[in-house]
Amino acid sequence: MQIARLAILAIVAVTLATPASAQFGGLKKKLKKTTGEETAAPAADPSPAAGGSVVLTPDVVSKLITGLKAGEAEREKAAHSDDNSWGRYQTANRAYTDAQAKCEANRQAWAMKGNAKEADKANALIEKSLKAQEKQDYKTAQILQDSVNVLQGGPSCLAKEPERPADYYEAEREVEVRTQKAAVTGSGLGAGEYAMAQERAVAILRSGAPSDVSESEKAAVTAKKGELEPLLFPQEKPRATKPAQPAPAPQPAATPQVNPQTSAAASSMNSCMMNNVQSHQAQIEALGKRGEAAQKAGNQAAMMAIADTMRQIQMAGCTGK
């Protein structure tokens, strides 16, 4: 995705930087052939896109940062807008991600609560779901599994991942064009100057600067590294900027202390789990055989449901308290 964005930005920069003289050059040549008149050749384009250069002074670097922020603001605006399919998908995907996180948190809280009645209810629903799958009644099986999900994690577990629209990439390209235009305008630089400043800044930060980059340019970019990197490389995690602290002097190894309460809780939970296994040995063995059959059939959904059932049987009523 990052490579695609860079390619789109490069195309937009070249399009914006093409001077009018270049666009009409072909027409002038045609006129010359038609009329036989000599037409003066257009003057060489002094813009960076036509072979010039840009010097990364502190002022230019500041303008680059301003432009990058303007482009990022435009992209963020598009990501929260419903005026195109790309923005609508981003909104739906954020809602789905939030629901998944909430579902998982609720599941963990439910498991820690260790409510035996709810665990039995969930097990019964899972059993019915497995039997429905055996009869190839997948609609009923899904309804029962959804009931288990709601019981364990609440309504957020029913959130469905949004489908990517058919024109997703086309809409994304339109957003990238708008982003680049906003960035160039916000920087106050020419389109070619902005593109080259961005390219040279990236090369310096990635230790791949060409030979014509001066030490003063490197210094100007390095001085703004903390601001540039999150804007130029948004997909990367921020790098630590704090100086390394000296390692503390080694301390004598302390004898590990065992918390009596923690040890007792762990022992109690282990005993509870073992009792559950012994009490439901026949049921667990039957589930194990179903799991093997599901594995041979390649039924991942059934395997997951069976494994979850076995876990719930083992943990039923075992809270570690």
* pLDDT tens digits, one per residue of 211-235: 888 999 999 999 999 999 999 998 7
Please give the residue range of the domain that contains residue 284: 262-321
What is the pLDDT, as a whole number, of residue 319? 56
Q: At residue 238, does pLDDT exceed 90?
A: no
- The sign of the dihedral angle between the CA atoms of 53, 59, 65, 69 is negative
For residue 88, is pLDDT > 60?
yes
With respect to residue 308, please indicate whether it lies within any of the assigned structural domains. Answer: yes
The answer as to whether 217 is a domain residue is yes
37 pLDDT tier (thresholds 50, 70, 90)? very low
Same domain, 222 and 166: yes
pLDDT of 305 reads: 67
Number of domain units in the chain:
2
Is residue 30 assigned to a domain?
Answer: no
State how far the alpha carbon of 95 is from the alpha carbons of 10, 101, 171, in Å: 32, 10, 20
The answer as to whether 254 is a domain residue is: no
Same domain, 2 and 59: yes
Answer whether residue 311 shows pLDDT above 90. Answer: no
Same domain, yes or no: 215 and 300? no
Residue 213 lies in a domain: yes
- Provide the pLDDT for residue 184: 95
For the entire predicted model, the pTM comes to 0.54
Are 189 and 53 in a shared domain?
Answer: yes
Which pLDDT score is estimated for 120? 87
Residue 34: the pLDDT is 43
- Alpha-helical (H) ranges within 44-137 are 58-79, 85-113, 116-134
Q: Does the structure show a pLDDT above 80 at 320?
A: no
Better pLDDT: 240 or 311? 311
Q: Are 211 and 104 part of one and the same domain?
A: yes
43 lies in a domain? no
CA distances from 316 to 127, 281, 308 (A): 16, 14, 12
Q: What value does the mean pLDDT take over residues 264-285?
A: 71
CA distance 157 to 146: 8
Q: Choose between 280 and 220: higher pLDDT.
A: 220
How much is the mean pLDDT over the chain? 76
SS3 content of the chain, % helix, strand, coil (to 5): 70, 0, 30
In a domain, 139, yes or no: no
Domain membership of residue 222 (yes or no) is yes
User: Scanning the structure block, which residue is given the tokens 């060409």?
Assistant: 210
| Whether residue 316 is found in the same domain as residue 170 | no
pLDDT at 31: 38
Least confident of 58-62, 151-155, 248-252: 248-252
Judged by average pLDDT, the poorest of 23-37, 63-77, 265-279 is 23-37
pLDDT given for residue 96 in this prediction? 93
Residues 54 and 172 reside in one and the same domain: yes
CA distances from 163 to 31, 88, 122, 197, 224 (A): 53, 11, 30, 38, 40
